[in-house]
């Protein structure tokens, strides 16, 4: 079946602009995760959704970052007023019960902030 | 908090050599442990997992055993191939999926023919 998809695959933006990154999880997966992969920080967990709800947003790097999920499916990660340090690959993953801790990753969105 | 430590490499081996990539962890409770692999130009793929002490995960000739007494989950393969060249990430989950995965920094493995 189809895996996790993310769009766009690449995004180049100017400092100060807002960007939206999209994730389509595997159909039927109730859990959805966002991560950031950067050279300096490795892989960082950002946020987890169970259904449309995100119980803990403390992993988001700053208040410029927000995420939402609708219909228990598609999720968007929004970065407002982008900064150069936001440049990274943003990864989305999904999972399902009972093996909720096994996550299936999308190909990522490479964000470059000039 | 949770943390994972692994050798960062690059690790360079000849084809058919024996591979060990060390991974140790710190976690609350009884985490599940994972190895993920990222081949050049591709996304992260689950390689193997173990969910309780003494479990052995295996896939594609790779193995790792969950050692609670040494808090380790070392990855091994008896005979590596050029196609195994990739970045390998050790990871853990201690919240049953609710807290995301904690990853190590990744180990870049290069296999020379």
Q: What mean pLDDT comes out for the span B73-80? A: 98
Q: What mean pLDDT comes out for the span B91-107? A: 86
pLDDT, tens only, B41-62: 888 999 999 999 999 999 999 9
Q: Which pLDDT does position A41 carry in this prediction?
A: 78
Instruction: With a cut of 80, say whether residue A112 has pLDDT above it.
Output: yes
Q: What mean pLDDT comes out for the span A45-73? A: 92
In whole angstroms, what is the distance from residue A35 CA to residue A92 CA? 6
CB contact under 8 A, B104 and A42: yes
Residue of B nearest to A53 (CA): B98
- The partner residue sitting opposite B49, judged by closest CB among A93, A102, A108, is A102
Residue B62: phi and psi, rounded to 5, are -90, 150
How close B29 gets to chain A, by Cα (Å)?
A: 14
CB contact under 8 A, A45 and B100: yes
Phi-psi category of residue B51: left, alpha or beta, with phi > 0 → left and psi -120 to 50 → alpha:
alpha
pLDDT, tens only, A90-104: 999 998 865 656 889
Q: Which stretch of A37-51, A57-71, B17-31 has the lowest confidence by average pLDDT?
A: A37-51
For the sheet containing B62-65, what is the strand order?
B19-21, B75-77, B62-65, B56-59
């Amino acid at each position: 079946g189809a895996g996790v998809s993310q769009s766009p695959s690449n995004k180049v933006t100017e400092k100060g602009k807002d960007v939206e990154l999209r994730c389509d999880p595997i159909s039927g997966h109730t859990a959805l995760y966002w991560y950031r992969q950067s050279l300096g920080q490795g892989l960082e967990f950002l946020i987890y959704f169970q259904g449309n709800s995100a119980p803990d947003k403390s992993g988001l790097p700053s208040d410029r970052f927000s995420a939402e999920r609708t219909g228990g499916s598609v999720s968007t990660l929004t970065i407002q007023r982008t900064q150069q340090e936001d440049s990274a690959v943003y990864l989305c993953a999904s999972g399902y019960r009972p093996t909720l801790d096994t996550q299936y990753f999308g190909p990522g969105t490479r964000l470059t902030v000039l | 908090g949770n943390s994972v430590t692994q050798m960062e490499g690059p690790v360079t081996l000849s084809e058919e050599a024996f591979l060990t990539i060390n991974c140790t962890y710190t976690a609350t409770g009884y985490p599940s442990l994972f190895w993920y692999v990222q081949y050049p130009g591709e996304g992260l793929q689950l390689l193997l997992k173990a969910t309780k002490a003494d479990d052995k995960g295996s896939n594609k000739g790779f193995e790792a055993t969950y050692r609670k007494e040494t808090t380790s989950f070392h990855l091994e393969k008896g005979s590596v191939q050029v196609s195994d060249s990739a970045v390998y990430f050790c990871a853990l989950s201690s919240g049953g999926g609710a807290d995301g995965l904690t990853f190590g920094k990744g180990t870049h493995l290069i296999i020379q023919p």
